[in-house]
Each structure stands twice: as structure tokens, then as C-alpha cells.
Chains A and B, each alone.
Chain A
């Protein structure tokens, strides 16, 4: 199926509205704001991965000249337990304890106190004067240790949820979930071929280039203003309100330009600390993490273990799929295990499956969402094993997937039946792509993988203002993390019939824009785009009313064509069409300024499927893997700005390649991360990579006026297994643990 609409502006590649500011250094990011009299806040972090905090004395730090505030957990209000919404979103009480430890430090780098002083250097000097007595405990650093019998407990109030009856003993397993359908035993009994495997993925970081940064000021009336780099300033407002027990209306949050987030800036770390220290000092307080703090105390994504088993007929038809999966949540419950479990078998028609998932606390930083949270890890396991199944069946891996691929009307493993989805189209495009059939050398290998993410809807607001010359101002509430101003402007321009160049987009703060959920979940172009389109339609309906008044005819006698009000066919044909500019110029006498608005809770997000082809060359001498070709194919529904859609596919591919080949947190036996910098936590660099070829498939999502599905998250899901399968093809051995680093591959090849 292809999109037959004839759009004038959607699908073109204009320069983004915020481009000039960002290319000239004018755009202001989180750390770029300053205020007169501003103090610099820094955090004292736990030197132990697991310790009881017996005593904190801030006295000497406070006595230092130039120090205006020092705080520890005791200075923050008690926060009631309560969900932050969203599976894996966690709990506000835990969020508060993550922001500033109360009785216990749960990871190396956990914030235990903070100081604000006239300079950053002075504040750091003051940290040395804070006295903390710790009772050091044994750190629990991985799934095996955390789930072992008699494991040391992080929190003796955690009893495994989802087990009936409630367990008698507390545990590090915070939750167990089960998803199943059909008869798993009968399904495996029915199978002619069975494959099994264990797959591990390491702790990885989102790796945004801009560290967390904020600037807060609170006045004597208790009203706070906060500038911060975030994916969602309305959620920041809620979180600050909960953790500081403040009224939402006393918190104004201004989202600065954001230097990457990938899910890691949907949560907060320093913001309440800065506000509290501003309240205490009566001065603005700026807090900026350094890179080491970003690694040690923000993000990361869960390390996982998946034990998976697939059964199939000789023709490739899947008869049974099962998976036992455990996700590290970090210091507090709430990993992305549930979406991982819901995604793992989503691409395939499957009558019999069983998924058992565990959410496990360990002494590492609390995990944060990372692009399609949970899906890359689980689908790496499934797609690796699908590859083994293809070997065993001596079947082409794409044919195996085509045999089982879901399409409209099939019931997803996570519940509902699919509407139109583009998995088959992606698989066929992969099969036909020249990169799938080109010759490889002896040390090279090719792998493919399917990727999937639900995509999200949720709440958005938008206003469209028409200036007196007919130009357009869009006000919306999603921080622009990858070109969303351009897609909003394109959708407004297309709907209104005005040139893209005449549309400006403002990302409003919490007092300017209507409530809007985070830039995340691949929801911005879909849901906020829908609000912008509806607000533009509101303008059209008002413009038609104004034209009717001007022409002294009934409103239903006015049509809207190409950015102009025109009389309906058969109505007094002498009237010249009225452009938006003409209507706006005289809006004072037809009822005042033109202001369109819309707010909605978008339903009908269109699931996004992808297929990736990876080609690698593994050096038999060193075990180093070079990616020599990579092809990302994805169903976007409709690409509003194709260049930025390609950019999402390419960027996600490279993050996934890093996850597959290089990236991991390395810990010592005391639970201290050994590689908290970009030199040793090596994200891919330009010279590591080939061109990333892209193919955008467009199977429109009928729930969106222009067919949008959302594209940001799916791209990171498939690369892990695509690369792993390519390595398997190159060396003939399956290594079921990421990253596929040179020493690990060399060891496997030497065996």
C-alpha cells in the first residue's frame, strides 16, 4: 500500500526554523543561561555503591565564606509513594530518594548532599568539608548476584509484586510479570525444530552530548522559575511539585534547547536541589553535571538476561515462543522490562507463547528510559535466536520472518489486533535491496533483524496565531530535540495552505503553551502534530467565518482552497478569493485576531516496524569488528520531513551499533564504574562507520490526518541483533553477550 495523497509541502526538505540559531552558536542550551548574583551548585556523591548513611554534618561547609546553601536528604520534604505514570516510570518517593539519598546510598555516585557557592570551584572546595559517616554494605552488582538466595537486600520493603500470594520474604526482585497465550507445551510438542539460547546485554548510557543542566530562582513569595534541558518541561513541573511539595502554579519551567536526551532527559536529577538551594540562599542557583557525573548518576539503560526458546515447523511456521527475561532496574524498582516483554514477540503471528519478566534492583544508578525503552534488549535476544532458527531450517532469514510476519488483523503478542502495519513491506524492501545480495569477502558477514516499537499518543496542546500580514506563529509544548519545529511548521503550512517559510514555531514554557507530554515515545510528530493540524483547521474555520462576514454571505457558502477563502461554486462569483493575509489584515473589523487552538489526548498511535541489514568484517587476528555496510528500513507512516526521518534511522542505527560492539559500563568489585568518560565508554565515532543507507516505507497510519506513525524509537531496536547476526555469519560462532568487543570475539574464535 502506498500513500496516494498529493501534498504540496509535506514530504519536502526545507531548512529547519531553528537552524540558523543552532549553526551559529546563538541557540541557548541548558548550561548557557546565567542570572545576576547567581550561585553555582554542586553535589557530593556517595563514594560507596551500597552504604547506610549514619550522619551528615554540613556545618563546616556552611561556615566557608561564599557558601550560601548546603543541603542533604533531611532538608527535603517527605514524599508520599505514588506512581509517576507509565510502566517503568517509577515512584515519586523513589525519585525523591534518587535525587538526594535519605538513609541509604544505593550506588556509587548517589547524591548525598549539595552546596551552592559564589563559584563552582568554591562549591567544590566546600564539598570536602561535609562530614558523612557511612556504614559500608556489600554491593549487589548484577542480576545473578541480586537474584541469588540470601543476596544482600537493597531495600527490605521490596516484596516481589505480581506474585500471588504475596511473598513472605523481601527480595531484590521488585516485580514479576507474565504474558501468555495458548498452550506453550502443546506448541513445543507440535514443533519439528526447537532452538534455545541465552543472551546478555550490558548497562549502557544514552550518551547525549549535553550534560544535565539547570538554572533555578525562587522569589520570596515562593514562586520558582526553572530553566532546564529536558524532554518534557510539564513533567519536570510535576516532579518538582511532588519532590518539593510545591504548588504546580508556583513553578514555571522553561525548556532550554536540548542537547540530546534519548529518554534520559525525561527524568530529573538536580532541578529540585537547585530550587531548594535558591530558596535557602535567596539567589539564583545554577547546576551543571560534568560528564563523569552523567555516567555515574544519570541514565543508564538496563543490563538484561534473556533465556529464550523457539519452536517451528520445518517450513518455518512458529509453533511456540517462550522467554524468561530479567532487567536491572538500578537502585530503585522500575525498569523497562514490561515494554521489553510486550515487544519481544510483537513481529510474529504466534498462537502459543509465554513470557516471564523480572524487574530487579541492583546497586547501579536508577535506569532511565533509553529510546524504545526495553525493546532493544529483548528483541536482540529474539532476533538472534530467529537467526539461529533460520540456520537450522536452512532458510533465508528474511523468508523465515516473512513466513511469520504480522499484518492487519493479526493479534499482537501484547494484546490488540494490528491495523495497517508495514512489517511485510519492510521485509520485502530488505530482500530486494542491493545491499542484501552484494558479494562479501571471507571475513565478512551479513545479518538482518526486525525492530518494533508501539509509538505513543498522549496529551498535546497547540495554538496557531495569524499575524497581521498573514504569517503564522505556532505555539506548542514539545522541546525540539531533532527537528520537530520543522515538522510542525510543515504540517501547519500544508493545512493552512501558506508557504513553510512564513511559519514560525515557538516551544512555549509551562506558562505559555498548553499542557503537553514529553518529547518521547515517538509521539511528538504524531500527537503534537495532530494538535497543530487541528489548531490550523480551527484557523481555517474562523477565516471562513471572517470571509463570510466580509462578503455578507452565509458561512456555509465559503470554501477554503489553497490558503484562500473562496465562495462556494454557484455563490456570487464576483468575490475575489481572500488570502489569509487579507483576512488577517482586516481581522480587527471582523471580530479580532485569528487564534486557533487545539488540545487532545491522541489515540491511535501507529506501531512502527523496521528491518536492518548489517554487513561486518571481523578481523581474525584481533577480533575487531568493522561495520562495512548498514541499511535501515522503516515504516514511518508518512515522512513529514524525510531528511529528519532518515536522520532518526541513521542515528538510531549508530546508537544500536555502539550497543552491539563497544558500549558497556565496566565495574570493579566494589561497584565503582571504571570508564566514566567518552574515552573509555566509547560511543561510535565517524571513522568507525560506513554510510548508513535508509529506505523509508510509508504505510499510512489512518488515525493521523497525514498518516504519521512516529519514527524516533524504532531505529535503535534492530541494530543489536542485525550486527550480532552479521558477526555470527562472519565467524560462524554465536556469541550471546554484548558488546561483541574484540577480546570477547577473539576468545570465542580461539575456543
Chain B
């Protein structure tokens, strides 16, 4: 089978790659573009460790075909911080000690940022249901939820939607 030529944008930069038709965005990010910040926990869309945005929409990169990103814009963990300044979501998660092993953390950063851009003032229940697709086995979720609550209601920080 011949490879597909894809031109897309990743973290606001033009990117080109060749991929197999069945190749996932996750595999291309990690193996072809060396963006290993996006993690694989299950490859079946159950754990959320591979969360990225596609044209601003939260998706599992393990369930997204790389070829689908043609002409679109992909946002990964590597593009979240603004130069040498951490994004408020990153800063708050650190301040609340909301990570232990940290392998699920990139997925959480992407998912939380997507939530707050859509709904800047979510209730605890809305936070918990939004994040139900991101598994964390270390923290019991408590400090992650608290960190997001700490950010809720600060809509000025989350105006810009990618």
C-alpha cells in the first residue's frame, strides 16, 4: 500500500510526513515527529493519556488516523506552554501536587485546557464528567479536581481558543 503524504500544522508549525493509511496520529507524533510528550496508555481510547486537540477539539490521538489531520491543526502538550512561561493549567497542577508518576499528566493538561476554553467556570460535577475519560491511577483524582476548581471562574485566562 502506498504511503499518504500529509501536510498539517502541529503546535502552530507546518509539518509534513508520510504515513500508512492505518497509522494513528499517536504513532506519527511519537515515532515520526519525535513528540513523545503524548503518551500511550491503552491505544483503545479508554485512558486519555494520548489526548491532543484537533482544530481545538479534544480527541484521543490513538483513535485518530494520522491521515485525518491533513489540512488541520493539531495541539499537543509540547505546544501548551507559552515560550518559557507555563500555561496556568500547568502551573496550577504543579502547585496542587496534582501529579504523582506524571505519565497521565500531559493528557490531563490538554483535557483541562480544552474544558476551560469551552466552559471557563465548570462545577465540580462538570469537571469530573469531562475528565472521566482520563485515567489516573496514582492520585485518586482529588488534587486534579481541586486544581481545576482553583482555575474555574478565571475566564480571562482561557479566552483564546486554538
> Could you list which residues of chain A lie within 8 angstroms of chain B, going by C-beta atoms?
13, 15-16, 18-20, 22-29, 31-32, 206-211, 257-262, 288, 290-291, 481-483, 641, 643-644, 646-648, 650-655, 677-679, 683, 685-689, 691-692
Contacts of B38 in A (CB 8 A): 25
Q: Is the CB of B101 within 8 A of A481?
A: yes
Given A209-B103, A257-B102, A686-B127, also A651-B138 (CB < 8 A): yes
Q: In the complex, which of the residues B46, B86, B135, B141 contacts A24, with contact meaning CB atoms closer than 8 Å?
A: B86
Q: In the complex, which of the residues A25, A28, A290, A654 contacts B141, with contact meaning CB atoms closer than 8 Å?
A: A654
Nearest-CB distance from B153 to chain A (Å)? 19
Nearest-CB distance from A300 to chain B (Å)? 14
Interface of A is mostly: loop
Q: Is the CB of A259 within 8 A of B102?
A: yes
Beyond known contacts A260-B100, A482-B138: 11 more, CB 8 A cutoff = A24-B37, A26-B37, A27-B102, A258-B101, A260-B101, A260-B137, A677-B42, A677-B46, A678-B135, A686-B127, A687-B129
Q: Is the CB of A209 within 8 A of B43?
A: no
> In residues 116-156 of chain B, which contact A (Cβ within 8 Å)?
125, 127-129, 131-145
> Could you list which residues of chain B lie within 8 angstroms of chain A, going by C-beta atoms?
30, 35-44, 46-47, 49, 76-78, 80-81, 86, 90, 93-97, 99-106, 109, 125, 127-129, 131-145
* 5 pairs of A and B residues whose beta carbons are closest in the complex: A25-B37, A259-B103, A22-B102, A650-B140, A654-B140
Nearest CB in chain A to that of B98: its residue? A647
Q: Is the CB of A647 within 8 A of B141?
A: no
Q: Is the CB of B94 within 8 A of A20?
A: yes
A-B contact pairs, 18 of them (CB 8 A): A24-B80, A25-B37, A25-B38, A25-B76, A209-B47, A209-B104, A210-B41, A257-B102, A291-B41, A481-B101, A482-B101, A641-B97, A644-B97, A650-B141, A651-B100, A654-B140, A677-B46, A687-B125
Contacts of B47 in A (CB 8 A): 209, 291, 678
Contacts of B35 in A (CB 8 A): 25
Contacts of B145 in A (CB 8 A): 686, 691
Q: Is the CB of B42 within 8 A of A210?
A: no
Of A20, A26, A32, A260, most B-chain CB atoms within 10 Å: A260
A481 to B139, CA, bound (A): 12
Q: Is the CB of A208 within 8 A of B137?
A: yes
Nearest-CB distance from B12 to chain A (Å)? 16
Q: Is the CB of B99 within 8 A of A209?
A: no
Nearest CB in chain B to that of A677: its residue? B44
Q: Is the CB of B105 within 8 A of A23?
A: yes
A29 to B28, CA, bound (A): 18
Q: In the complex, which of the residues A29, A643, A647, A678 contacts B138, with contact meaning CB atoms closer than 8 Å?
A: A647
Contacts of A689 in B (CB 8 A): 128, 140-142
Contacts of A650 in B (CB 8 A): 139-143
Nearest CB in chain B to that of A32: its residue? B36
Of B42, B100, B140, most A-chain CB atoms within 10 Å: B140
Q: Is the CB of A23 within 8 A of B90?
A: yes
Contacts of B144 in A (CB 8 A): 686
Nearest CB in chain B to that of A261: its residue? B101
Q: Is the CB of A210 within 8 A of B142?
A: no
Contacts of A288 in B (CB 8 A): 40
Nearest-CB distance from A237 to chain B (Å)? 22
Q: In the complex, which of the residues A22, A260, A653 contacts B140, with contact meaning CB atoms closer than 8 Å?
A: A653
Contacts of A20 in B (CB 8 A): 86, 94
Q: In the complex, which of the residues B36, B101, B132 contacts A209, with contact meaning CB atoms closer than 8 Å?
A: B101
Q: Is the CB of B40 within 8 A of A686?
A: no
Contacts of A655 in B (CB 8 A): 137, 140
Nearest-CB distance from A6 to chain B (Å)? 23
Of B49, B80, B103, B145, most A-chain CB atoms within 10 Å: B103
Given A260-B137, A686-B131, A689-B128, also A25-B101 (CB < 8 A): no
Nearest-CB distance from A694 to chain B (Å)? 8
Q: Is the CB of A209 within 8 A of B49?
A: yes
Q: In the complex, which of the residues A28, A261, A641 contacts B36, with contact meaning CB atoms closer than 8 Å?
A: A28
Contacts of B109 in A (CB 8 A): 23
Q: Is the CB of A262 within 8 A of B43?
A: no
Given A291-B44, A481-B101, also A23-B137 (CB < 8 A): no
